[in-house]
Amino acid sequence: MESENGNMIHASVPVGQVNRATVHATVSEFWHILSGEGQIWRRDATGEQTVDLRRGVSIDIPVGTAFQYRCRTAEPLEFICISMPPWPAPPRPRSSMGLGSRLRPKRDSLGV
C-alpha cells in the first residue's frame, strides 16, 4: 500500500538472520510485530537501547536513528512496516559505520 505521504509493507526476517546496522537519512519507520521473535538495537542523539520484538510490540525508527535487528526464533520474524515519506526515498540508507555488529550471536552487547 502506498500514498504520497507514506507506504506500508509486510516484512519477513528469515530464521537466524542479522541485518547490517543502518541509518535512514530520509524516512522514519513504524513497525508492528505479527509473529516470531527478535531484537532491535537503536541509537540516536539521546542514547541507545535494545528492544525485544514479539507479537503485539510496536516500535518507531525516527530519521537519523542507527538500528540493527535480528530474528531469534525457529520461525521468521514477521511485521508490518510503515515508512514516512514513502520508501524508497532517495538517498538510499547508509551503512552505520563504526557501530560494529551489535546483534551478532554470542559475545555481543546483548549478552546472548
Asked if residue 112 is part of any domain, the answer here is no
Round to whole Å and give the CA distance between 60 and 69.
13
Residue 24 · residue 93 · CB < 8 Å: yes
Question: Per DSSP, which regions of the chain are E strands?
Answer: 7-13, 22-23, 28-35, 37-44, 47-54, 58-61, 66-71, 77-84, 94-95
Asked if residue 105 is part of any domain, the answer here is no
Asked if residue 102 is part of any domain, the answer here is no
Asked if residue 64 is part of any domain, the answer here is yes
Asked if residue 53 is part of any domain, the answer here is yes
Asked if residue 28 is part of any domain, the answer here is yes
The grid cell for 44 is 540516536
The yes-or-no verdict on residue 108 having pLDDT over 90 is no
Per-residue model confidence (pLDDT) at position 65: 96
More confident residue, 82 or 1: 82
Per-residue model confidence (pLDDT) at position 3: 80
Name the band, by pLDDT with cuts 50, 70 and 90, for residue 101: low
Which CATH number characterizes residue 84's domain?
A: 2.60.120.10
The CA dihedral of 30, 21, 16, 37, to the nearest 10 degrees, is -30
pTM exceeds cut of 0.85: no
- Domain range for 65: 7-95
The yes-or-no verdict on residue 73 having pLDDT over 60 is yes
The grid cell for 51 is 528492544
Asked if residue 68 is part of any domain, the answer here is yes
Residue 27 · residue 84 · CB < 8 Å: yes
Per-residue model confidence (pLDDT) at position 102: 54
Total tally of structural domains belonging to the chain: 1
Asked if residue 89 is part of any domain, the answer here is yes
Residue 30 · residue 67 · CB < 8 Å: no
